[in-house]
Amino acid sequence: MKKIQKLAIIAVLGLMACDTQSKSDQKTEEMEVKQNDPHSYARADEAVVKHLNWQADVDFEAKRIMATANWDIENISGVDTIYFDTKNLNIEEVRLDGAEQASTFVLHPEEDILGSKLAIPIQAETQRVSIKYHTTKGADALQFLDPQQTADKTHPFLFTQSQAILARTWLPCQDSPGIRFSYEANVKVPEGMMALMSAENPTEVSANGAYKFTMDQPVPSYLMALAVGKLEYAKIGEVTGVYAEPSVIEAAAYEFAEMQNMVDTAEALYGDYRWGKYDVIVLPPSFPFGGMENPRLTFATPTIIAGDRSLTALIAHELAHSWSGNLVTNANWEDIWLNEGFTVYFENRIMEEIYGKDFANMLAILSYQDLLEEIDWLKSEGRLNDTRLKVDLEGRDPDDGLTGIPYDKGFFLLRLIEETVGREKWDAFLNTYFNNFAFEVMTTDAFVEYINEELLSENEAWKKSIRLEEWIFKPGLPDNCPDIESTKFKAVEAQLTDWKGGKEASTLETEYWMTPEWLHFVRLLPDTLSVDQMTALDEAFNFTNSGNSEIQAAWFEKVIPNNYQAAKVATENFLVEVGRRKFLVPIYKAILKSEEGKKRALTIYQKARPNYHAVSRSTLDDLLGLSKSQA
């Protein structure tokens, strides 16, 4: 895209205050479509942060971080106050430009979702704002684990989860994806432990527990991350490697052996990997997500270590975010499909390159099944509007927008565009898109304008057949959603028909099945199963004790409503051990289906809850109908 067009789009974005003056001069009438972030108190067009120097001490005994955040700022319009987001932080002191005298500040009363606005009076020429603070028990991003909750059980562990708006619970920051900053950090942890951030990382344990980090590329606050534990590093390829606890490192290195290949493949598809290294850290099982795309260091659940490398699409996904999300970033959480939908699409392309079209198509069909189910569920909850790609989160927790819609509906829209314009043109478009908007934000409206101008204007028929606006701004699934066929899944369905016709489970032809085929099989099992049927399936395929967490979770969901006693203990162990929300929600829902299950769910939850991260706790408290005081 020509420079001049690019500037026009940036003007439409309207919150590019962190951009250069020349760009903000481009403001036009159109810019009034201003995209302010409803989830941040920061005023991006007035005074913004540019660089962070973070000095921190991690205290495992008190389970808190004591720190000073030294922010280099730019007072764009010469305002007298700069605003930060904080939540449950204890602010001790504020200083301007290293002055000896402490400065005044106002910490506003806490709002339910957003937390407390921190207002700091500044001068036109103020360059540095230093905030001394410590975290509290209410730091929802942080999970401090006792040794018992780790794989090795010898050392405690700490990890953060900042997305979407939890960075403010461990760092006073301008917590909006539209505001980027570079950073450096000095972090002190107990001797013998390793600290890692979304930055340039050590590969060895330091002698005195002191670590220094730098992240030269500007990143938004939701990508701020810290993990501390007894960790080791194993190199995988030229720029790739994995961190894990000593007892896990070997299995992790084996599982993720394709990582370097994935990076090379991704680069061949959509351009240079811009972040130097790409490592993964395997966290303890309470990590609430499958993965989190922290720059240079993906955080991952140990539940993807299946022993046979079959769940590594998740790594492809987090890696893909290095382009869609970390490079070109959703302007605010209402545009999250620009991060997640593009990433699921990119993930699928990486998987196709490495494992073939058949494999990628199976993943796509599973995603389609998820999508139909999600739309049905949201409809039944009276949340039809949340089935739109661009969602309305005003006054709501951004976590509410985190459904399967931005992922799966986003994926199918991009797949439709690919099928309509042809892969060659589409790939060229995406390459340019990532390049042009690297280290910048994107809004849904700007994207629509950009793709219409740069790609779809070439052919009116394309526009007509894609119906972009309907996909993005209307609820439900448009009737032109691509239909994906899989001969492999047809074969699975044939086996299932035989089984339903009386063929014994152990004699089914499943020899070459991979994880997606097993998932398809389990999902298609009838809702009502007899004890004999479940027992025979288990004897033949060992679903209940499968080492594959995805298969196990799908199986539990199926057999729980059928009151399958033999899976009770395994289900309970799974729920107590694993904190990954995507697994927990459907399993608890399945238990809750019966009257008697309601009591059982609560009993299990009481035992499991202390192991869960705040993100999972909050979802499950709601699901199980616990108010904050009861929980």
Which is closer to ligand BES, CB of 68 or CB of 330?
330
Q: Shortest Cβ distance from residue 481 to Zn ion (Å)?
A: 21
Q: Shortest Cβ distance from residue 343 to ligand BES (Å)?
A: 6
Stretch that binds Zn ion, among 8-16, 119-127, 334-342, 479-487 (CB under 5 A): 334-342
**Is 407 an active-site residue?**
yes
Identify what 330 binds: Zn ion, ligand BES, none; CB under 5 to 8 Å per kind: none
Which is closer to ligand BES, CB of 408 or CB of 445?
408
Which is closer to ligand BES, CB of 258 or CB of 318?
318
Strand 81-86, strand 64-75: pairing: unpaired
Stretch that binds Zn ion, among 132-140, 199-207, 339-347, 517-525 (CB under 5 A): 339-347
What crossing angle do the helices spanning 549-559 and 568-577 adopt, rounded to 10°?
A: 130
Q: Shortest Cβ distance from residue 581 to ligand BES (Å)?
A: 8
Stretch that binds Zn ion, among 338-346, 362-370, 545-553, 614-622 (CB under 5 A): 338-346
For 503, which DSSP code?
-
Q: Shortest Cβ distance from residue 404 to ligand BES (Å)?
A: 9
DSSP helix/strand/coil, 93: strand
Stretch that binds Zn ion, among 236-244, 336-344, 429-437, 483-491 (CB under 5 A): 336-344
Nearest to 586 by CA among 614, 615, 623: 623
Identify what 334 binds: ligand BES, Zn ion, none; CB under 5 to 8 Å per kind: none
Burial string for 93-127 (b: 16+ CB within 10 Å, else e) reads ebbbeeeeeebebebeeeeebbbbbbbbebeeebe
Strand 328-330, strand 440-442: pairing: parallel
Among 184, 255, 318, 418, the active-site one is 318
Provide the binding-site residues for ligand BES, judged by CB under 6 A. 163-164, 289-293, 314, 317-318, 321, 340, 402, 407, 582
Identify what 618 binds: ligand BES, Zn ion, none; CB under 5 to 8 Å per kind: none
Q: Shortest Cβ distance from residue 402 to ligand BES (Å)?
A: 5
Identify what 352 binds: ligand BES, Zn ion, none; CB under 5 to 8 Å per kind: none
Which is closer to ligand BES, CB of 181 or CB of 289?
289
CA distances from 110 to 48, 89, 232, 239 (A): 22, 10, 40, 43
Q: Shortest Cβ distance from residue 317 to Zn ion (Å)?
A: 6
Which is closer to ligand BES, CB of 293 or CB of 445?
293
| DSSP state string for 232-276 | EEEE-SSSEEEEE-TTTHHHHHHHTTTHHHHHHHHHHHH----SS
What crossing angle do the helices spanning 423-436 and 410-421 adopt, rounded to 10°?
A: 120
Strand 232-235, strand 240-244: pairing: antiparallel
Q: Shortest Cβ distance from residue 320 to ligand BES (Å)?
A: 9
Which is closer to Zn ion, CB of 178 or CB of 341?
341
Which is closer to ligand BES, CB of 75 or CB of 329?
329
Is the previous residue joined to 164 through a cis bond, with omega within 30 degrees of 0? yes
Separation CA 544–CA 530 (nearest Å): 15
Q: Residue 317 corresponds to which tokens in the numbers above?
A: 């996904």
Q: Residue 455 corresponds to which tokens in the numbers above?
A: 């790609």
Q: Shortest Cβ distance from residue 338 to ligand BES (Å)?
A: 12
Among 407, 433, 450, 588, the active-site one is 407
Separation CA 448–CA 33 (nearest Å): 14
DSSP helix/strand/coil, 102: coil
Which is closer to ligand BES, CB of 156 or CB of 579?
579
Count of residues binding Zn ion (CB under 5 A)?
Answer: 2
CA distances from 202 to 209, 216, 247, 355 (A): 12, 16, 19, 32
Binding residues for Zn ion restricted to 343-362, rule: CB under 5 A? 343
**Is 318 an active-site residue?**
yes
Strand 240-244, strand 226-229: pairing: unpaired
CA distances from 570 to 152, 528, 535, 565, 623 (A): 21, 20, 14, 10, 22
Identify what 624 binds: ligand BES, Zn ion, none; CB under 5 to 8 Å per kind: none
Q: Which residues are catalytic?
A: 318, 407
Interface residues with Zn ion (CB under 5 A) are 340, 343
